[in-house]
Amino acid sequence: MDRLRRSDRLTVPDAKHLLDRPTGLWRGALRRLLRRKTGVIGLSIIGTLVLIAVLAPLLAPYDPNQVLIGQDGVSRRSPPCVHLFGCEPEIRQHALGLDGNARDQFSRIIYGTRVSLSVGLTTVLFAFSIGATLGAIAGFWGGWTDNIIMRIMDVVLGFPSLLLAIAIVSALGPGLRNTMLAIAIVSIPAYARVMRASVLSIKELDFVSASRALGASKLRILWSRVVPNALTPLVVIGTLGIATAILDAAAFGFLGLGAQEPTAEWGAMLARERAQVFSSPHLVFFPGLAIMITVLGFNLLGDGLRDALDPSLSE
Amino acid sequence: MLAYVGRRLLLAVPVLLGILIATFLLARAIPGEPCRAMLGERATAEACAAFERNKGLDRPVPVQLGIYIGDVLKGDFGNSIRFSRPVSQILIERLPMTIELSMTALFIALLVGIPLGIVAAMRHNSAVDVGTMMFANVGVSMPVFWLGLLLAYFFGLVLRNTWFALPPSGRLSPGMISVPFYEKWGWGLSDGTFPHTVMEFIGNHFIFNAFITGNWELFGNAIQHLILPAVALSTIPMAIIARMTRSSLLDTLGRDYIRTARAKGAIERRVVVRHALRNAMLPVVTIVGLQMGALLSGAVLTETVFGLAGAGTMLFEAITARDFPIIQGFTVIIATGYVVINLIVDLSYAYLDPRIRLE
Q: The dihedral of CA A63, A65, A69, A74: what is its sign?
A: positive
Pick from B141, B153, B327: which is nearest to A277 by CB? Answer: B153
**For position B181, what pLDDT does the model report?**
85
| Closest by CA position to B133, among listed B145, B125, B142, B122 | B125
B175: left (phi over 0), alpha (psi -120 to 50) or beta: left
A7: left (phi over 0), alpha (psi -120 to 50) or beta: alpha
**For position A2, what pLDDT does the model report?**
47
Query: Is the Cβ pair B335, A303 closer than 8 Å?
Result: no
pLDDT tens string A21-58:
555 667 777 777 888 788 899 999 999 999 999 998 89
Question: Cα(B242)–Cα(B64) distance, rounded to whole angstroms?
Answer: 47
Is B122 within 8 Å of chain A by CB? no
Is B293 within 8 Å of chain A by CB? yes
pTM confidence score:
0.83
Strand partners, A104: A98
Chain centroid to Cα B356, Å, comes to 28
Q: What angle (nearest 5°) sits at the alpha carbon of residue B133, between those of residues B224 and B109?
A: 30
What are the φ and ψ backbone dihedral angles of B309, each rounded to 5 degrees? -90, 80
Q: What is the largest CA-CA distance in chain A?
A: 94
Does position A12 have pLDDT exceeding 90, yes or no? no
Count Cβ atoms below 10 Å from residue B313 Cβ, excluding itself.
Answer: 21
ipTM of the complex: 0.82
Residues of chain B with confidence (pLDDT) below 50: none
Does position A19 have pLDDT exceeding 60, yes or no? no
Please report which confidence band the pLDDT of residue A315 belongs to, taking 50, 70 and 90 as the band edges: very low
Is B316 within 8 Å of chain A by CB? yes
- What burial class does residue A311 get, using C-beta atoms within 10 Å of its C-beta: 0-12 exposed, 13-18 middle, 19+ buried? exposed
**For position B359, what pLDDT does the model report?**
55
Is B305 within 8 Å of chain A by CB? yes
Is B235 within 8 Å of chain A by CB? no
Please report which confidence band the pLDDT of residue A135 belongs to, taking 50, 70 and 90 as the band edges: very high
**For position A18, what pLDDT does the model report?**
56
Query: Is the Cβ pair A163, B19 closer than 8 Å?
Result: no
Does position A4 have pLDDT exceeding 50, yes or no? no
Pick from B22, B141, B300: which is nearest to A163 by CB? Answer: B300
Return the residue of B nearest to A248 by Cα. B143
Q: The dihedral of CA B135, B137, B138, B142: what is its sign?
A: positive
Question: Cα(A257)–Cα(A249) distance, rounded to whole angstroms?
Answer: 9
Question: Cα(A98)–Cα(A79) distance, rounded to whole angstroms?
Answer: 7
Q: Please give the full DSSP string across A243-286, using - where no structure is assigned.
A: HHHHHHHHHHHHHTSSSPTTS--HHHHHHHTGGGTTT-THHHHH
**For position B3, what pLDDT does the model report?**
81
Q: What percent of chain A has pLDDT over 90?
A: 28
Is B50 within 8 Å of chain A by CB? no
Does position A311 have pLDDT exceeding 80, yes or no? no
pLDDT tens string B20-42:
887 788 777 666 667 776 677 77
Q: What percent of chain A has pLDDT over 70?
A: 88
Q: The dihedral of CA B190, B194, B197, B200: what is its sign?
A: negative
Length of chain A: 315
pLDDT tens string A226-269:
888 888 788 888 998 999 999 999 998 888 888 888 888 998 88
Query: Is the Cβ pair B145, A166 closer than 8 Å?
Result: no
Number of helices followed by number of strands (H, E) in chain A: 13, 0
pLDDT tens string A100-110:
777 888 999 99
Does position A20 have pLDDT exceeding 70, yes or no? no
Count Cβ atoms below 10 Å from residue B125 Cβ, excluding itself.
Answer: 9
Residues of A with CB under 8 A from a CB of B: 38, 151-152, 154-155, 158-163, 166-168, 170-171, 173, 243, 247, 250-251, 254-255, 267, 270-271, 274, 277-278, 281, 284-285, 287-288, 291-293, 295-296, 299-300, 303
Pick from B27, B146, B297: which is nearest to A291 by CB? Answer: B146
DSSP letter, residue A84? G
Question: Cα(A161)–Cα(B33) distance, rounded to whole angstroms?
Answer: 25
Query: Is the Cβ pair B143, A278 closer than 8 Å?
Result: no
For chain B, the C-alpha Rg in angstroms (whole number) is 24
What are the φ and ψ backbone dihedral angles of A76, each rounded to 5 degrees? -60, 140
**For position B189, what pLDDT does the model report?**
75
